[in-house]
Amino acid sequence: MKYYYINGKIIEVRHANIHVTDLAFLRGYGIFDFFKILSGKPLFIDKHINRFINSGKILGIELSLSITQLKEQIHKLLNANKSSNASVQMFLTGGYSIDGFTPTNPNFIILENKLSVNDPLLYLNGINLIKLKYQREMPEAKTTNYSNAIKMIKKMKQKNALDILYYNDKFITETARSNFFIIDHKDVIYTSIDNVLKGITRQKIIQLAKNYYNIKEKNITIEDLKKAKEAFITSTTKGIMPVVNVENDIIGKGVPGVITIHLMQLFKKFIKDYLRNR
Amino acid sequence: MKYYYINGKIIEVRHANIHVTDLAFLRGYGIFDFFKILSGKPLFIDKHINRFINSGKILGIELSLSITQLKEQIHKLLNANKSSNASVQMFLTGGYSIDGFTPTNPNFIILENKLSVNDPLLYLNGINLIKLKYQREMPEAKTTNYSNAIKMIKKMKQKNALDILYYNDKFITETARSNFFIIDHKDVIYTSIDNVLKGITRQKIIQLAKNYYNIKEKNITIEDLKKAKEAFITSTTKGIMPVVNVENDIIGKGVPGVITIHLMQLFKKFIKDYLRNR
């Protein structure tokens, strides 16, 4: 892409700078959200905007724009870049801070990047996860705090894993960048409910699956996972992706399960219809 | 100050920008440290540099400069600004990331700012703390993750508090920006040992106090605090600051205690001698 957006201005990517006194930079005090553009249409943009504003509320960062104004600003960038497929990230930070600690006027930044296409083999063969005992500090907010995930990149590479499954004292919660689902031997689908980011794709999958399966939001234990027949993750960038291995524990037969594949097909069709009807 | 430092270059403060793809900005993946300049002399600079490098090791961010080179770079900025009293912050981040997640060449940034002088009344009257159940994710590293502290600024103002006392499931650990000490009725001084950032001032106080008092590194409980006769915090910016109130629980007689005042005098003299001998 040629342009990013910073506080009302369309700026060439190479000049898209922020001052070093920004509180997301100095103090990790920032939130973000992102959505896809497919065939020129932003996917579930209202839901992403709502979550973005809600993340801000949790951290105490308030966007001074109304939702209508926010959308106008997003479209300003989309119009400048003229790309029909893209990934759009919105950031809201504590602003440029004089004392390096106290928030000021928030900085609002939008990045539009090329849509990264996931290797089809990942969907065909399923992926590996590694595990980490870790609970995100503000689970319901999409904050910029990813240090613990980035620390694990080396281990992910070693284990040929694509994501990190987080668990706390009691439950498996989510992965570093996705929501987590399992399917038991009675074909019941479960996804964690507490201490997780409520994903937009997660919500869509719950709605779609309801027509065919028994699906429940419920906290998942390590034992549940060990007995699971199928597992998958969901996220904006990945859609549904089958999980076949969690740190050397093989899930089911070690290949994507039939229900997961069915849900992948349902979701694909849902997106197609969504795009056709906009 | 007139200048900041970014990746080898001295840059006017108003132009001190980083690109928005920096991983400290996008993902909170960064560490920092800071030290004071007094009478033109950097205080305990070697210890701060060591801790800075160690924080980087914990996060997996490696500075490409040797310690000698690092010091040369710091002095480049100090020479440009020519200020005899200042506060210097070093930052090391995951670098400009193409995919917004994977670290690249770290960005090394130094900010030199006016030394903020604390109100003498805070030392004379002591300060209030509020409490928060919170354990920093990487306690031994000085990461940029301060969201939970910044969220509490409003409550601090309401309660006329200057800092936030963190406690976890078991112990009182540290405050948001300082180490924490208590003194019991037998005049024994305690400071938390586990899950805290090992402060440079903390270490100095332990050394100085040893000549006069029984001082122990030991985990502090809520009960210990309730029975404490005196309490204080230590940090680079604050030195020793007496604590007289923790969220409505009055410490001792509600005024700075005699041992705390003695330690403040010892530390003041120590700094004076330190500066004279450099």
Q: What is the pLDDT of residues B128-181, one digit of tens each?
A: 999 999 999 999 999 999 999 999 999 999 999 999 999 999 999 999 999 999
What was the pLDDT predicted at B237?
Answer: 95
Q: How many helices (H) and strands (E) does chain A have?
A: 9, 16
What was the pLDDT predicted at A139?
Answer: 97
Q: Are B130 and B152 in contact (CB under 8 A)?
A: yes
- In terms of residue numbers, what domain contains B16? 3-114
Alpha helix locations (H) across A82-151? 120-125, 147-151
Rounded CA-CA distance A130/A176 in Å is: 10
Reported as a single tens digit per residue, the pLDDT across A156-176 is 999 999 999 999 999 999 999
Look up residue B36 and give its two tokens.
């004071």
Look up residue B253 and give its two tokens.
């007689």
8 Å CB contact of B18 and A25: yes
Whether residues B131 and B173 fall in one domain: yes
Average pLDDT over residues A117-136: 97
Whether residues B46 and B11 fall in one domain: yes
Chain A residues whose CB is inside 8 A of the B144 CB are 25-28
Average pLDDT over all residues of chain B: 97
Residue A257 has pLDDT above 90, yes or no: yes
Residue B252 has pLDDT above 90, yes or no: yes
Q: Are A24 and A94 in contact (CB under 8 A)?
A: yes
Reported as a single tens digit per residue, the pLDDT across B188-216 is 999 999 999 999 999 999 999 999 999 99
Whether residues B95 and B228 fall in one domain: no
Q: Are A6 and A109 in contact (CB under 8 A)?
A: yes
8 Å CB contact of A60 and B154: yes
Reported as a single tens digit per residue, the pLDDT across B48-98 is 999 999 999 999 999 999 999 999 999 999 999 999 999 999 999 999 998
Rounded CA-CA distance B205/B225 in Å is: 19
Q: Tokens 């899930």 map to which residue?
A: A251
Residue A278 has pLDDT above 90, yes or no: no
Whether residues A148 and A258 fall in one domain: yes
* Domain final position from A57, A80, A114: A114
Q: Are B183 and B257 in contact (CB under 8 A)?
A: yes
Whether residues A77 and A133 fall in one domain: no
Structural domain total, chain B: 2
Task: Say if A86 is an interface residue toward chain B (CB within 8 Å).
Answer: no
What CATH number is attached to the domain comprising B216? 3.20.10.10
What CATH number is attached to the domain comprising A73? 3.30.470.10
Q: Which of residues 154-213 of A touch B (CB under 8 A)?
A: 154
What is the band of A248 on the pLDDT scale with cuts at 50, 70, 90? confident
Whether residues A132 and A263 fall in one domain: yes
Whether residues B227 and B160 fall in one domain: yes
* Domain final position from B55, B86, B114: B114
Whether residues B196 and B94 fall in one domain: no
Rounded CA-CA distance B194/B179 in Å is: 12
Rounded CA-CA distance A121/B219 in Å is: 51
Residue A58 has pLDDT above 90, yes or no: yes
ipTM of the complex: 0.96
Q: How many CB atoms lie within 10 A of CB A53?
A: 18
What is the percentage of chain A residues whose pLDDT exceeds 90? 97
Whether residues B190 and B144 fall in one domain: yes
Reported as a single tens digit per residue, the pLDDT across A223-238 is 999 999 999 999 999 9
Helix (H) or strand (E) holding A205: helix A200-209
Rounded CA-CA distance B246/B225 in Å is: 9
CA dihedral A243, A247, A251, A257 (to 10 degrees): 10
Chain B residues whose CB is inside 8 A of the A144 CB are 25-28
**Close Cβ partners of A44 (under 8 Å, ≥ 6 residues apart):** A35, A200, A204
Write the Ramachandran bin of B191: left for phi over 0, alpha for psi from -120 to 50, otherwise beta: beta
8 Å CB contact of B101 and A150: yes
- SS3 track for chain A: CCEEEECCEEEEHHHCEEECCEHHHHHCCEEEEEEEEECCEECCHHHHHHHHHHHHHHHCCCCCCCHHHHHHHHHHHHHHHCCCCEEEEEEEECCECCCCCCCCCCCEEEEEEECCCCCHHHHHHCEEEEEEECCCCCCCCCECCCHHHHHCHHHHHHCCEEEEEEECCCCEEEECCCEEEEECCCCEEEECCCCCCCCHHHHHHHHHHCCCCEEEECCECHHHHHHCCEEEEEECCCEEEEEEEECCEECCCCCCCHHHHHHHHHHHHHHHHHHHCC
Whether residues A144 and A174 fall in one domain: yes
Average pLDDT over residues B242-263: 97
Reported as a single tens digit per residue, the pLDDT across A61-74 is 999 999 999 999 99
Reported as a single tens digit per residue, the pLDDT across A182-211 is 999 999 999 999 999 999 999 999 999 999
Reported as a single tens digit per residue, the pLDDT across B11-28 is 999 999 999 999 999 999
Look up residue B12 and give its two tokens.
């006017």
Rounded CA-CA distance A25/A6 in Å is: 15
Residue B278 has pLDDT above 90, yes or no: no
Rounded CA-CA distance A167/B214 in Å is: 42
Task: Say if A61 is an interface residue toward chain B (CB within 8 Å).
Answer: no
Q: Are A47 and A142 in contact (CB under 8 A)?
A: no
Q: Which of residues 106-165 of B touch A (CB under 8 A)?
A: 109, 111, 113, 116, 134, 137-138, 143-151, 153-154
Look up residue B157 and give its two tokens.
């103002």
Average pLDDT over all residues of chain A: 97
Q: Are A163 and A127 in contact (CB under 8 A)?
A: yes
How many degrees, rounded to 5, is the angle at CA A249 between CA A169 and CA A216?
Answer: 60
Helix (H) or strand (E) holding A260: helix A258-276
Q: How many CB atoms lie within 10 A of CB A109?
A: 24
How many degrees, rounded to 5, is the angle at CA B61 between CA B56 and CA B67?
Answer: 60
Look up residue A65 and give its two tokens.
């724009």
Q: Are B140 and B197 in contact (CB under 8 A)?
A: yes
**Close Cβ partners of A57 (under 8 Å, ≥ 6 residues apart):** none
Whether residues A202 and A109 fall in one domain: no
Partners of B249 in the beta sheet?
B246
Task: Say if B24 is an interface residue toward chain A (CB within 8 Å).
Answer: yes
> Which residue from A22, A59, A99 is facing B147, i.e. has the nearest CB?
A59
Residue B5 has pLDDT above 90, yes or no: yes
Average pLDDT over residues B260-276: 97
**Nearest Cα to Cα of residue B37 among B73, B82, B91:** B82
Whether residues B63 and B131 fall in one domain: no
What was the pLDDT predicted at A228?
Answer: 98
Residue A135 has pLDDT above 90, yes or no: yes
What was the pLDDT predicted at A170?
Answer: 95
* Distance of residue B130 Cα from the nearest chain A Cα, in angstroms: 17
* Domain final position from A114, A141, A171: A114
Q: How many helices (H) and strands (E) does chain B have?
A: 9, 16
